[in-house]
A and B are shown apart, each in its own frame.
Chain A
């Protein structure tokens, strides 16, 4: 039988730190995507608009997935 042991507070804090680092990198990537897409749009370059939008959406989904996991470990706290 598998025993699911909830994380201690210290473990949860460590997990949050790890997720925070990952989310920060993704948000900075999204900021770069947004500024370069706006620059391309103003310069009438349409080729990057949709790929950048899809990449940004993928980053959002990853971030949302991590947030969902955070809510999950919060629910299983002692």
Chain B
């Protein structure tokens, strides 16, 4: 900053402020009248008297603005970090509640004779809003899954002849025999409903969620 106003110090030897200095006064003995950080700097770094009138009327110090923006962004990120941590403990709380609830009670779903081979039956288990699908794959072989797609919870539909359960929302597909994803966006298998057959009656005995 070549045109910065400066205050000179008396260059004579042995004057106050020059104790110990000899010879020509070095540039460092000149103190600027203004603190560098108090000078407003425009975005193009040219002097303020070359700036348009509106900028002179409403001057924004560009380096200070940069600093404040980044400082505020960092505060926002730390707040986001707090939100993520709260989310982690929220999941831990949900898990604790789920463990406390334990496995759902056994419930009759249907009689074997109500479901011909190659067909499916919708039922609710364990709650009335937890839709599941029971499929008779052949003979006395049955499989049952939660009907919520593990991608975005659309209801999956059994295609018994193709051996899949398909999700119509995003063309997700699950293997009918295992419930594992075979195509589309889902990554986790469908929730498996454990079944038990007693006296030609089919009972749901529990739900098993899986990661792979």
A56 and B88 contacting across the interface, CB-CB below 8 Å = yes
- Given known A52-B88, A56-B84, contact A9–B63 (CB-CB < 8 A): yes
- Number of residue pairs across A and B with beta carbons under 8 Å? 106
How far is B67's CA from A74's CA once the two chains are assembled, in angstroms?
11
- With the chains together, A28 CA to B99 CA distance in Å? 30
Report yes or no: A64 in contact with B63, Cβ–Cβ below 8 A. no
Q: Is the CB of B94 within 8 A of A27?
A: no
Contact (Cβ within 8 A) A20 B70: yes
Q: How many residues of B contact A (CB 8 A)?
A: 35
Chain A interface residues toward B at CB < 8 A: 8-10, 12-13, 16-17, 19-20, 23-24, 26-27, 30-31, 33-34, 37-46, 49-50, 52-53, 56-57, 59-60, 63-64, 66-67, 70, 74, 78
- Cβ–Cβ < 8 Å partners of A45 in chain B: 211
The interface residues of chain B, by DSSP majority, are classed as helix
- Proximity bits, B172-212, A CB within 8 Å = 1, else 0: 00000000000000011000000000000000000011111
